[in-house]
Structure 1
Amino acid sequence: MATYILVPGADGTAWYWHLVVPELRDRGHTVVTVDLPSDDSAGLDAFADAIVDAVRTTAPDPQGPVVLVAQSLGGFSAPLICDRVPVDRIVLVNAMVPRPGETAGDWWGVTGQAAARSAYAEAIGRGADAEFDPRTDFFHDVPADVTDEALAAPQAGPPAALFAQPWPLKAWPDLPTRFLQGRDDRFFPLEFQREVVRERLGIDVEVLPGGHLLALSRPREVAAELLKEA
């Protein structure tokens, strides 16, 4: 049996993974979820502490392989725990991949995300100047009831401090790493992610059907990929 540590993206809530969790637990695996800090002064260190605390509370003695899973912005914080928790491998999901010394605030311009999103919006008929809209960019393939539940919750957003702190690791953790990418992600388009991930991690993305919020739109498919790590 494996232990899965599921780190959310910019919304910072364990709820993001709530449809994936039973798919893993029903097969006997241990699942650790975490609500990340929302205080505006919380930076990467506070995020890492929150993840480690959740692991120590839920799985103080992890059994089997420990699989660290990070969604979107979680790509900046999740790797920081690898010298504090016995992680065996990492799975990134539509994630941001940082370089040493890069801030999450700088990542967007350095990678060219805005231009990539604009080009993709034009390619699918929305127009190159399409304004960002959560329902259109994030929830376009998420069931309506799940979307309504997500948007009815308080929308705190990630702390400002998180975007200002340089990524402190000297290199990506020396662990087997996979990258799951939504084919129809409108926020981090597929071809954009292929280039960024190949350049920064030296691996190819594995394409799944769905958009940016795969754990909400395709939870069974995501769980099936994670179960390959057990």
Structure 2
Amino acid sequence: MSVFVLVPGAGGAAWYWHRVVSELRARGHEAVAVDLPGADESAGLPEYADAVAAVIGDRAGTVLVAQSMGGFTAPMVCARVPVGELVLVNAMVPLPGETPGQWWGNTGSEAARLAAAEAGGYGTAFDLDTYFLHDVPAEVAAAGADHQGPEADIAFGQPCAIERWPDTPTRVLAATGDRFFPVDFQRRVARERLGIEAETVPGGHLAALSHPSRLVDRLLERVPRDR
């Protein structure tokens, strides 16, 4: 059995991972999704890292999985507590000291999003249905409405407080249908910032909601069978 700790993106809703949590537990693993105080203007990246680190504690071998903006919290956690593996899923990959607000321009994410939209024939104006919910089952998307929350501005101006990328073995999973962070963009950022090749999974930006079983298949690929 392995222990998976799952970090959500902007808004901080642990609900985002609920289908993956159920799938991991059904396969005999422990899984905990962390709720973050995304709407709290007095809490930002340090508090997010505190919350995740508290869940992990001193348990060795934990697999830490972070989605989207959770990519800023995850390396801060790895620098503080023992983590067996870090998996970034459609995630922002920060440089040491970089803020989420700086990341967009530094990586060229907006240009990549617009280019992918033009090539794919869908709208360039951002809206949730086009960029986040286009492949999420309607009943799942409807259930998620009660769990949506804002991301307070404070976190966007706070640095990823690491001196270097942690030594934790790291994987990048990029969804082939992600319209927000297109797959080729994610591949480039993974190479440039981590020196690794991104692996692909099916689905869009919210792959944990649209393709949970396939995502779990990927998460378990490197987990020893006797853990």
Q: TM-score range by the shorter chain?
A: over 0.9
In the other structure, the counterpart of 2:209 is: 216
Q: How does the TM-score come out when normalised to structure 1?
A: 0.92
Q: In the alignment, does 2:196 pair up with 1:207?
A: no
Q: How does the TM-score come out when normalised to structure 2?
A: 0.93
| Range that drifts further, 152-161 or 105-114 | 152-161
In the other structure, the counterpart of 2:25 is: 25
CA contact (8 A) 1:20 1:223 kept: yes
CA contact (8 A) 2:78 2:168 kept: no
Q: What RMSD over aligned residues (CA atoms) do the two structures have, in Å? A: 1.4
Aligned residue identity for 1:194: R
Q: In the alignment, does 2:118 pair up with 1:122?
A: yes
Kindly provide the CA deviation profile for residues 36-67 of structure 1, in whole angstroms up to 9, marking residues without a partner as x: 012012111110111123334xxxx637x311
- Which of 57, 74, 78 aligns to 1:78? It is 74
Q: Rate the CA distance shift 1:78–1:168 in 2: closer, same or farther, 3 A.
A: same
Q: Distance in 1 between matches of 2:80 and 2:91?
A: 21
Kindly provide the CA deviation profile for residues 81-130 of structure 1, in whole angstroms up to 9, marking residues without a partner as x: 12332201111100000001111001001111111101111111125xx2
Q: Rate the CA distance shift 1:213–1:21 in 2: closer, same or farther, 3 A.
A: same
Q: Distance in 2 between matches of 1:182 and 1:133?
A: 19
1:1-230 equivalences under 5 Å are: 1-37=1-37, 38-56=39-57, 62=59, 65-127=61-123, 130-150=124-144, 152-153=145-146, 155-230=148-223
Q: Distance in 2 between matches of 1:70 and 1:117?
A: 21
Q: Distance in 1 between matches of 2:106 and 2:138?
A: 34
CA contact (8 A) 1:141 1:217 kept: yes
| Range that drifts further, 184-193 or 154-163 | 154-163
Please, which runs of 5 or more residues in structure 1 have no aligned partner? none
Aligned residue pair count:
222
Aligned residue identity for 1:183: T
- Once the two structures are TM-superposed, the CA of residue 27 in structure 1 deviates from its matched residue by 2.3
SS at 1:191 equivalent: helix
Q: Distance in 2 between matches of 1:98 and 1:211?
A: 21
Determine what percentage of the aligned residue pairs are the same residue: 57
SS at 1:216 equivalent: helix
- Once the two structures are TM-superposed, the CA of residue 72 in structure 1 deviates from its matched residue by 0.6
- Once the two structures are TM-superposed, the CA of residue 138 in structure 1 deviates from its matched residue by 0.5
Q: Rate the CA distance shift 1:188–1:138 in 2: closer, same or farther, 3 A.
A: same
CA contact (8 A) 2:13 2:149 kept: no
Aligned residue identity for 1:116: A
- Once the two structures are TM-superposed, the CA of residue 154 in structure 1 deviates from its matched residue by 5.1
CA contact (8 A) 1:67 1:229 kept: no
Q: Distance in 2 between matches of 1:199 and 1:52?
A: 27
Aligned residue identity for 1:14: A
SS at 1:178 equivalent: strand
- Once the two structures are TM-superposed, the CA of residue 148 in structure 1 deviates from its matched residue by 1.1
